[in-house]
Chain A
Amino acid sequence: MPGGAKPQLAGWGGLSVPGRELRSERLEEVARGLPLTRGLGRSYGDSALPPPGVTAVAGSVRADRILALDPARARLRAEAGLSLRDLAWTLLPRGLFPPVVPGTQFVTLGGMVAADVHGKNHHVAGTIGRHVTGLRLLTAAGEIVDCSRERSPDLFRATIGGMGLTGHLLELELALDRIPSPWILQETRRVAHLDETLAALAESARDWPFTVCWLDALASGRALGRGVLIRGRWAEPGEAPGTPPRPLRGPAVPFRLPGFALNDLSVRLFNAVYRASFPARLRRSVVHPQKFFWPLDAVRHWNRIYGARGFTQFQCVLPESERPGAVRRFLAEAARRGGSSFLCVIKDCGAEGEGLLSFPRPGVSVALDLPMRRDTRALVEALADVVLAEGGRIYLAKDAFVRADQFRAMEPRLAAFARARDRWDPERRLRSAQSVRLLGDPA
Chain B
Amino acid sequence: MNTVILGATRGIGRALARAMAARGDRLFLLGRDARDLGASARDLEARAGLAEGAIGSAACDLLEPATFAPAFDAAAAALGRLEAVVVTAGLFATQERLESDRELARRVLEADFSGTVLFCEEARERLLAAGGGRLCVLSSVAGERGRKPVVLYGAAKAGLSRYLEGLDHRFHARGLRVVCVKPGFVRTSMTEGLPEPPFAGEADEVAAIALAALDRGRPVVYAPGIWRWVMAVVRLLPRAVLRRVGF
Q: How far is the CB of B151 from chain A (nearest CB, A)?
A: 23
Q: A90 contacts which chain B residues (CB < 8 A)?
A: 46-47, 49
Interface residue stretch chosen among B67-75, B78-86, B194-202, B208-216: B194-202
Query: Which residues B33-66 have CB closer than 8 A to chain A?
Result: 39-40, 42-43, 46-47, 49, 52
**Contacts of B167-200 to chain A: CB distance below 8 A:** 188-189, 192-193, 195-198
**Given the contacts A2-B197, A86-B47, A90-B47, A23 and B192 also touching, CB distance less than 8 Å:** yes
How far apart are the CA atoms of A4 and B198 in the complex, in Å?
A: 12
Contact with B along A13-30 (1 / 0, CB 8 A): 000000010111100001
- Return chain B residues, CB-CB under 8 Å to A24: 189, 192
Once the chains bind, are A65 and B192 in contact (CB under 8 Å)?
no
A68-B42 CB under 8 A given contacts A93-B49, A94-B49: yes
- For A93, what are the chain B residues with a Cβ–Cβ distance below 8 Å? 49
Q: How large is the interface on B (under 10, 10 to 19, 20 to 34, 35 or more residues)?
A: 20 to 34
- List of A residues within 8 angstroms of B10 by Cβ: 25, 62
**B9 and A25 form a contact (CB under 8 A):** yes
Docked CA distance A5–B50 (Å) = 45
Q: Fill in one digit per residue for B89-113: 1 if any A CB lies within 8 Å of its CB, else 0.
A: 0000000000000000000000000
Does B124 lie at the interface of the complex (its beta carbon under 8 Å from any beta carbon of A)? no
A125 in the interface (beta carbon within 8 A): no
A25 touching B189 in the complex, CB below 8 Å, given contacts A1-B195, A1-B196, A2-B197: yes
Known: A2-B198, A86-B47, A94-B49. A66 touches B189 (CB 8 A): no
Q: Are A65 and B39 in contact, with the CB atoms below 8 A?
A: yes
Interface residues on A, range: 10 to 19
Q: Which residues of A contact B47 (CB under 8 A)?
A: 66, 86, 90
Closest to A82 in B: B43
Please indicate which of the listed interface residues B9, B47, B52 has the most CB atoms of chain A within 10 Å of its own CB: B47
Give chain B residues whose Cβ lies under 8 Å from the Cβ of A68.
42, 46, 52
- Cβ of B14 < 8 Å from any Cβ of A? yes
Q: Which residues of A contact B189 (CB under 8 A)?
A: 23-25, 62
Q: How far is the CB of A168 from chain B (nearest CB, A)?
A: 17
Closest to B18 in A: A86
1/0 per residue, CB under 8 A from B, across A68-103: the answer is 110000000000000000100010011000000000
The 10 closest A-B pairs by CB, nearest first: A65-B43, A69-B46, A66-B46, A25-B10, A66-B43, A24-B189, A90-B47, A65-B39, A67-B39, A67-B42
Q: Chain B contacts of A69 at CB under 8 A?
A: 46
The residues of B with any CB-CB pair to A shorter than 8 Å are 9-11, 14, 39-40, 42-43, 46-47, 49, 52, 188-189, 192-193, 195-198
19 pairs of residues in contact across A and B, judged by CB atoms under 8 Å: A4-B195, A20-B193, A22-B193, A23-B192, A25-B9, A25-B10, A25-B14, A62-B10, A65-B40, A65-B42, A66-B43, A67-B39, A67-B42, A68-B42, A68-B46, A69-B46, A90-B46, A90-B49, A94-B49
Q: How far, in Å, is B63 (CB) from chain A's closest CB?
A: 19
Closest residue on chain A to residue B188 by CB atoms = A62
A30 to B193 Cα, complex, angstroms: 11
The chain A residue with its CB closest to the CB of B38 is: A67
- Quote the shortest CB–CB distance from B185 to chain A (angstroms): 11
Is the beta-carbon distance between B192 and A22 smaller than 8 angstroms?
A: yes
Closest to B192 in A: A23
Interchain nearest-CB distance for B208 vs A (Å): 14
Chain A: which residue is nearest B10 at the CB level? A25
Chain A, range 179-204, C-beta contacts under 8 Å to B = none
**A2 to B197 Cα, complex, angstroms:** 6
Q: Which residues in A have their C-beta under 8 angstroms from that of B42?
A: 65-68
Q: How far is the CA of A65 from the CA of B47 in the complex (A)?
A: 9
Q: List A contacts of B193 (CB < 8 A).
A: 20, 22
**B37: shortest Cβ distance to chain A, in Å?**
11
Closest to A69 in B: B46
* Bound CA span A94–B50, Å: 11
Residues of A within 8 A of B9 (CB): 25
* Chain B residues positioned under 8 Å from A2 (CB to CB): 196-198
Which B residues touch A62, using CB under 8 A?
A: 10, 188-189
- The complex places the Cα of A62 from the Cα of B47 at a distance, in Å, of 16
Closest to B33 in A: A26
